[in-house]
Structure 1
Amino acid sequence: MRRPVVALLSAVALAATAACSAATDDAGSSDGSPTPSEPTRTTSPTTPAPSASPSTTPSVSPAPSVPTAESRVSLPTLMARSYDGRRLQRTGVLVRTDDYTRYAVRYRSDDLWISGILNVPTGRGPYPVVVMAHGYIDPAIYVRGQGLMREQDWLARRGFAVLHTDYRGHAASDDTGPLDRELRLGYTVDVINAVHAVRRSSMRRLDGARVSLLGRSMGGGVVLNALVTQPGLVDAAVVFASVSSDAVDNFERWTRPERPESVSRIERRFGLPEQNPTFWRQISSRTYVDRITEPVLLHHGTSDDSCPYRWSVRTTRALTNAGVDARLRTYEGEEHAFGPQWPQSMRRTLRFLRSSSEPQA
């Protein structure tokens, strides 16, 4: 799907980008905040790189058949296209620590340059890679690598390389217009291409055969979209405090009550949920969860007043009913940004990622 097709999706962008509609979705938890102090860990510090030589081609199961797209604006359209993520380049050193180096990077996603950051642990490697998808932050104030800085630091100190994509229209990424840059399906393309760029990279300390995804809030929805679009893309996925896997939930929570001009635009082009339910089913990852082949770990707090906890309950139920290896970790009293129980969630994440990214014999 090249730019003209992606542009058709722009009217739906407001339903997606309003998701978790605070001005900065990740504010207060991970937007440039110092890394919080860590209690005594039960996990070991930086993991030595495995001695096995990496393979550039992962072992994947045969992909399920692609459903018929009723609209060019749909997840089936993304499923049917090819992806050419490539040319992952370091463009500068941002920070050096004893445990890792933080680089400014860019990569190609279709005909766009997408910016981001790459944390690479100190040592020879190669290290398993986590591609991160951040939550909604107004592109006008977003800066490179914003939104998941705690998680970037935490995993890099424990032996994971971390590629955080800024998405199109953010930071130093190429722009595709004021609406298209906010499109969650466009972000899905950028995340999938980030994985392919890692796999095609010649950086010797990155293990392109061991790649996982991590997303929070809107980024959680992006990760779920990526999983249904390209089964077998990664080893595993972690989702924090996600938006709903049903696009109608997100539309009803934010767009209909807050964005009347967007409602009118969506109604004219695609129809509202009650007018064109097929369109809304085809932009909802929940419709296609039976395509997912990777294990999925979900984290959600019961006091999340932005993305309700019940959304992750319903998503997890849909995943498990479809035979996906999925588990929801519940955090009583935790809010959207995660505070006191964040270290526990990351210890669980670390165990999950390590078990899912064991080197192949």
Structure 2
Amino acid sequence: MKRLVASLACLVLLGAATGCTRPDERPVEVTPNPAPSPTEQGSPSGSVAPSSTVSLPSLFDKEYDGGRLRLGKEVEHTATQRQYDITYRGDGLTISGRIAVPEGPGPFPAVVLAHGFIDPGDYTTGQGMTREREWFADHGYVALHVDYRGYGSSDGRGIPGADLGIGYATDVINAVLALRAWDGPVDDDRVALVGRSLGGGVVLDALVADPGLTDAAVVWAPVSSDLGDLYRHFLAGDPGRADLRDGIDLLYGSPRDNPDFWRGISPRTYFDRVTEPVLINHGTADETCPLRWSRETARLLHEAGDRATLAVYPGEGHSFGARFDSSMERSERFLADQLR
């Protein structure tokens, strides 16, 4: 059963990188048009009762306690930055990660990085957003990469991801608090969240869980803000995953049979809580997380009153190849404007 739950969590939170194409087009910026917000629907008779702990509202009044950020060994030293393994405390856990600190006195603006899906058994500290961490530090940002609970050297409770990312959002929020409490060269008034794929979904969860925590957010190729889309995209209609689909139906009910649960775990349901401007980067050739997911997320954020921008990269795939640098430059311009 534990293996089943772990496999289900991996599939529902899937954000694994795939190959990408390498066109030379410039990104197309889109200002979303308003769209109707999700409608409220009652649960059908006999549906599985939503879990009070596996839901985003369970995070709304949570007391976050991130702190005690400690530098470990130095793992990289260049002319522009130093990188260290780190740990911090939060939610009763010790969470590991890696931090990149620009050379110089600071204080520097900071970003907290939420990585995409990697099998926890294959994961090593700091994996998943190595390029972004190095790029941000080279451009004058302290960049803190979070190893979620159950990843790297982090403590864990239960099976990684079995709560569909609720714990990961808690770890990211606590990372922001730990970074601000640290006595290092961080400008506490200029902090942003950054996420990729699964981490993009974690960032959206954090934005609705703790409005005003940071000043801005940037995501690349995020998973859908409706977790029912992930169920339908990765599980429904695939005979090879019938056992996994049946298992998640047993645990939570399907999106059709238990819509209240799936709405309660989906950040778009609560986009009216988001206060930070959001930039979404997405390629048109993404076969893992379809561009339509980000179009809908941007539309709904905009409709809820958030300053959301979608930057579309023609021909670019899920992991960003040829357009990686231009997407970083676009994102840095956005952050420089928002973190002034």
Interval containing the TM-score (normalised by the shorter chain): 0.7 to 0.9
Q: Does 1:195 align with 2:176?
A: yes
C-alpha change, 1:111 and 1:260, in structure 2 (3 Å) is farther
Does the residue aligned with 2:296 lie in a helix, a strand or coil? helix
- Could you tell me the TM-score, scaled by structure 1's length? 0.80
Change (3 A) 1:12 1:197: farther
Instruction: Compute the displacement of 1:332 (Å).
Output: 0.5
Residue of structure 2 in register with 1:3 after alignment? none
* Whole-Å separation in 2 of the counterparts to 1:246 and 1:14: 20
1 or 2 for the larger relative contact order (CA 8 Å, sep ≥6)?
2
Q: Report what 1:48 is aligned to.
A: none
Structure 1 stretches of 4+ with a deviation exceeding 6 A read: 10-13
Shift of 1:356: 1.1
Question: Equivalent pairs: percent with the same residue?
Answer: 48
Q: After the TM superposition, which residues 48-87 of structure 1 pair with which residues of structure 2 at under 5 Å, given as runs? A: 71-72=51-52, 73-87=54-68
Aligned to 1:119: 100
Indicate the larger mover: 213-222 or 70-79.
70-79
User: Number of matched residues?
Assistant: 307
Structure 1 Cα separation of the partners of residues 60 and 337 of structure 2: 28
Deviation at 1:201, TM superposition (A): 1.5
Structure 2 CA distance for aligned equivalents of residues 245 and 297 of structure 1: 14
Partner of 2:277: 295
Q: Which residue of 2 aligns with 1:267?
A: 249
Structure 2: runs of 5 or more not aligned? 21-48
1:139 and 1:171 in contact (8 A); partners too: yes
**In structure 2, do the counterparts of structure 1 residues 149 and 324 end up closer, same or farther at CA, with 3 Å as the change threshold?**
same
Q: 1:239 aligns with which of 201, 219, 222?
A: 219
**Residues 280 and 294 in structure 2, CA contact (< 8 A), matched pair in contact too:** yes
- Give the conservation status (yes or no) of the 8 Å contact 1:316–1:327: yes
- 1:349 equivalent among 292, 312, 331: 331
Quote how far apart the aligned CAs of 1:120 are.
Answer: 0.4
State which of 288, 295, 301 in structure 2 corresponds to 1:313.
Answer: 295
| 1:230 partnered with 2:230 | no
SS in 1 for 2:215: coil
Q: Report what 1:90 is aligned to.
A: 71
Q: Does 1:221 align with 2:201?
A: yes
Distance 1:97-1:27 versus aligned 2 partners, 3 A rule: farther
Equivalent in the alignment of 1:324: 306
1:355 and 1:223, CA in 2 relative to 1: closer, same or farther beyond 3 A?
Answer: same
CA distances 1:235-283 after superposition (whole Å, capped 9, x unpaired): 0000100100001001111244354444333323322111111111010
For 1:135-174, list aligned pairs within 5 A.
135-174=116-155
Residue 110 of structure 1 corresponds to 91
What SS does the corresponding residue of 1:18 show, helix, strand or coil?
A: helix
CA distance in 2, matches of 1:261, 1:77: 29
Deviation at 1:70, TM superposition (A): 5.8
Matched, 1:209 2:189: yes
The change in CA–CA distance for 1:156 and 1:78 in structure 2 (over 3 A counts) is same
| 8 Å CA contact retained: 2:88, 2:178 | yes
The CA RMSD measured in Å over matched residues stands at 2.1
CA distance in 1, matches of 2:84, 2:51: 39
Is 1:131 the counterpart of 2:106? The answer is no
TM-superposed CA distance for 1:178, in Å, is: 3.0
SS of 2:75's equivalent in the other structure is strand
Report the CA distance shift for 1:320/1:131 in structure 2 as closer, same or farther (over 3 A). same
Q: Following the alignment from structure 2 to structure 1, what is the Cα–Cα distance between the partners of residues 50 and 85?
A: 40
- Contact kept in structure 1, 2:13 and 2:164, CA below 8 Å: no
